[in-house]
Chains A and B, each alone.
Chain A
Amino acid sequence: AQSVTQLGSHVSVSEGALVLLRCNYSSSVPPYLFWYVQYPNQGLQLLLKYTTGATLVKGINGFEAEFKKSETSFHLTKPSAHMSDAAEYFCAVTSPTGNQFYFGTGTSLTVIP
């Protein structure tokens, strides 16, 4: 089975600072990769996804992620944090067949005014 590792269960940044959330995956076959965001008491929303093509993927709310096959990583970044970015973020990867999705344990982002 695939596995996803998110380094840091809690990350705090100051408003306006760079956001970097780390995600590494284990896979013998390049999978499809996703970042989801979850606000309190809500379901998960897609931030961005990588399937094929350009390895730098842009998503909603100014987030982007870069697929690095050699490092089996898909880190999420945002140049300048906003208070509204405070949420839980999940990295996910598909199985080789594409019919299952595996999630990391999540990173809770706190933005300090």
Chain B
Amino acid sequence: DAGITQSPRHKVTETGTPVTLRCHQTENHRYMYWYRQDPGHGLRLIHYSYGVKDTDKGEVSDGYSVSRSKTEDFLLTLESATSSQTSVYFCAISVGTSGITGELFFGEGSRLTVL
């Protein structure tokens, strides 16, 4: 158990409202990731972080921003939610001796519905 907690686990919101998803880890792993999972697309990387205040874009970053002010927390924000952002969002951390070549451990997911 890599000690990953996502919140909220379920959220329904309306188009145009801001939404923030939180990922919390209990261990001091350097790399954290946000993915979205959609049918037919598998998991697609939104953003990732390689340290406090160090983040980079993934393949589907448009419409999303992230912040990491503490090692243990990685926040994903939808500034103005759209229906196309209805998805299941997974946070993951990379666990390995070198920090970047280990496997990913995933949270339980956050199901977001944008009406």
The residues of A with any CB-CB pair to B shorter than 8 Å are: 1, 6, 9, 32, 34, 36, 41-46, 49, 51, 90, 92, 94, 97-106
Q: A90's closest neighbor in chain B, by CB?
A: B42
**Which of B13-21, B75-83, B99-107 forms part of the interface with chain A?**
B99-107
A32 to B: closest C-beta gap in Å: 6
The residues of B with any CB-CB pair to A shorter than 8 Å are: 31, 33, 35, 40-45, 48, 50, 58-59, 90, 92, 94, 98, 100-101, 103-109
| A-B interface, 3 closest residue pairs, ranked by CB to CB distance from nearest | A43-B106, A105-B42, A103-B43
Chain B contact surface mostly: strand
| Chain B residues, CB < 8 A from A92 | 104
In the complex, what distance in Å separates the CA atom of A51 from the CA atom of B101? 8
Residues B90 and A100 in contact, CB atoms below 8 Å apart: no
In the complex, what distance in Å separates the CA atom of A41 from the CA atom of B42? 14
| Chain A residues, CB < 8 A from B44 | 103
In the complex, what distance in Å separates the CA atom of A105 from the CA atom of B90? 15
| Chain A residues, CB < 8 A from B43 | 44, 90, 103
| Chain A residues, CB < 8 A from B98 | 98
Residues B48 and A105 in contact, CB atoms below 8 Å apart: no
Given contacts A90-B42, A99-B31, A44 and B103 within 8 Å (CB-CB) = no
In the complex, what distance in Å separates the CA atom of A44 from the CA atom of B2? 12
Given contacts A32-B101, A51-B101, A101 and B90 within 8 Å (CB-CB) = no
In the complex, what distance in Å separates the CA atom of A34 from the CA atom of B96? 14
In the complex, what distance in Å separates the CA atom of A34 from the CA atom of B90? 17
